[in-house]
């Protein structure tokens, strides 16, 4: 029985050693690659500035009133405390 326990401990130690060696190799490989090939963020495209309320495509006043009432009810405040400035339908 003692030899079985010794063999199990030796195999476990060998397995843990192999795992730590592989992890160490991965860490240093990643560090080397980061230095050789640094990450460069792609440039952010400039978005056109949209007016707050488009001329003909804006939501109707009834929709704005319904959204304001729903928000007021949900938050437990009065509708006069809200001022909706922009609605982006998606």
- Give residue 52's pLDDT: 53
What is the per-residue pLDDT for 55?
A: 52
Q: pLDDT tens digit string along 19-70?
A: 999 999 999 999 999 999 988 888 888 877 655 544 556 778 888 888 888 8
Contact yes or no for 47/57 (Cβ under 8 A)? no
pLDDT value for 1: 73
At residue 3, the pLDDT reads 92
């Amino acid at each position: 029985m003692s030899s079985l326990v010794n063999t199990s401990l030796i195999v476990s130690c060998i397995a843990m050693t192999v795992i730590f060696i592989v992890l160490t190799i991965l860490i240093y490989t990643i560090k080397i690659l980061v230095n050789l090939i640094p990450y460069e963020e792609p440039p952010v495209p400039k978005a056109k500035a949209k007016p707050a309320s488009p001329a003909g495509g804006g939501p109707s006043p009834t929709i704005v009133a319904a959204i304001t009432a729903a928000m007021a009810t949900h938050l437990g405040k009065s509708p006069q405390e809200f001022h909706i400035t922009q609605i982006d339908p998606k």
